[in-house]
């Protein structure tokens, strides 16, 4: 029988692109625990460890924390093949979303160059009710299942026409925030806009100060959210965060 190939930290780091320091940390927290060379105590990774690292990287790509990943991988009856099929579906869905976003960005560039006419609805072509469902996942990861269920209940209670009105209201709020940008984040116009945005969020869930500040960070730090605001105005995400911070000082 052939001897199973084993990999050192250095070799696995080179293959996977994960730093040796990170591999050491995963070992320390019990997320990826290799065997040890009985002669010198060095870490040795087998095929099963390589597959587990792949799963960790997939789940990190999908936005899960290390604690969530460990709970996911260590659950009883974990099925690697089923998990890979789920990852594949999620990645294909993300690919389709990114392709739509790229197309919208390219169209916006042509609009800014004056080459095409583009209405405000087209600015949001990559963001729809489908995107709202993705935001619900973000809500669950950041604020828990209770907030997710609240968002789902509220959104599910609206008619198709009401949902359209809500989405249009949100678009107008962001366009009005662009108009307020030259006046400053603390201006009455900007603060009135954030107050409207705060009230708008109540269509989905009751947002406290912690959530408002977290959304300001999310708009800047999450690539898809940031790309959304970039299409409206390159500085809108940063302006939203500043205006939200001013707004929350009085809460």
Report pLDDT for 137: 53
**Segments of the chain assigned to CATH 1.10.1660.10:** 9-73
Asked which of 86-90, 200-204, 217-221, 242-246 is least confident by mean pLDDT, the reply is 86-90
Can you tell me the distance from the alpha carbon of 138 to that of 236, in angstroms, rounded to the nearest whole number? 21
**How many whole angstroms separate alpha carbon 51 and alpha carbon 134?**
27
| Distances 244 to 6, 25, 126, 151, 209 between C-alpha atoms, Å | 52, 36, 24, 21, 9
Are 240 and 229 spatial neighbours (Cβ–Cβ below 8 Å)?
yes
Region of poorest pLDDT, from 4-18, 122-136, 164-178: 122-136
Which pair of tokens denotes residue 224? 């898809």
CATH of domain 9-73: 1.10.1660.10
Q: What is the mean pLDDT of residues 226-242?
A: 87
Question: What percent of the chain clears pLDDT 70, i.e. is strictly above it?
Answer: 78
Question: Concatenated DSSP letters for the chain?
Answer: -PPPP-B-HHHHHHHH---HHHHHHHHHTTSS--EE-TTT--EEB-HHHHHHHHHHHHHHHTT--HHHHHHHHTSTT--HHHHHHHHHHHHHHHHHHHHHHHHHHHHHHHHHTTSS---GGGGGTT-SHHHHHHHHHHHHHHH-HHHHHHHHHHHHTS-HHHHHHHHHHHHHHHHHHHHHGGG-TTSHHHHHHHHHHHHHHTTT----HHHHHHHHHHHHHSHHHHHHHHHH-TTHHHHHHHHHHHHHHT-
How confident is the model at residue 206, as a pLDDT?
81
pLDDT single digits (tens) 58-90 = 888 777 788 888 888 888 887 878 877 877 887
Residue with tokens 């990170």: 22
Which residues are registered as beta bridge partners of 43? 36
Sequence-separated (6 or more) residues with CB below 8 Å from residue 163: 129, 155
Q: Is the pLDDT of residue 179 over 80?
A: yes
pLDDT at 236 over 50: yes
Domain with CATH 1.10.490.50 in the chain: 119-249
Q: Is the pLDDT of residue 36 over 50?
A: yes
Q: Is the pLDDT of residue 201 over 80?
A: yes
Q: Does the reported pTM lie above 0.75?
A: no
**CATH code 3.30.565.10 for 119-249:** no
Residues 244 and 152: their CA atoms lie apart, in Å, by 25
């Amino acid at each position: 029988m052939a001897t199973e190939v084993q990999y050192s930290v250095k070799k696995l780091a080179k293959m996977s692109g994960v730093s040796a320091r990170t591999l050491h940390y995963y070992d320390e927290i019990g997320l990826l625990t290799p065997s040890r060379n009985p002669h010198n105590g060095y870490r040795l990774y087998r095929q099963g460890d390589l597959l587990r690292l792949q799963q960790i990287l997939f789940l990190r790509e999908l936005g899960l924390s290390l604690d969530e990943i460990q709970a996911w991988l260590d659950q009883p009856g974990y099925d690697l093949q089923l998990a890979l099929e789920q990852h594949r579906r999620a990645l294909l869905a993300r690919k389709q979303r990114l392709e739509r976003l790229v197309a919208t960005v390219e169209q916006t560039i042509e609009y800014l160059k004056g080459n095409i006419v583009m209405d405000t609805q087209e600015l949001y072509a990559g963001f729809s009710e489908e995107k709202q469902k993705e935001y619900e996942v973000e809500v669950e990861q950041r604020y828990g299942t209770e907030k997710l269920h609240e968002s789902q209940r509220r959104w599910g209670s609206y008619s198709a026409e009401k949902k359209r009105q809500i989405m249009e209201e949100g678009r107008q709020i962001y366009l009005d925030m662009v108009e307020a940008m030259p006046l400053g984040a603390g201006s009455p116009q900007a603060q009135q806009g954030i107050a409207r945005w705060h009230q708008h969020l109540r269509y989905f869930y009751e947002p406290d100060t912690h959530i408002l500040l977290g959304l300001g960070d999310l708009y800047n730090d999450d690539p898809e959210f940031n790309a959304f605001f970039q299409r409206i105005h390159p500085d809108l995400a940063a302006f939203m965060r500043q205006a939200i911070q001013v707004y929350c000082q009085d809460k």
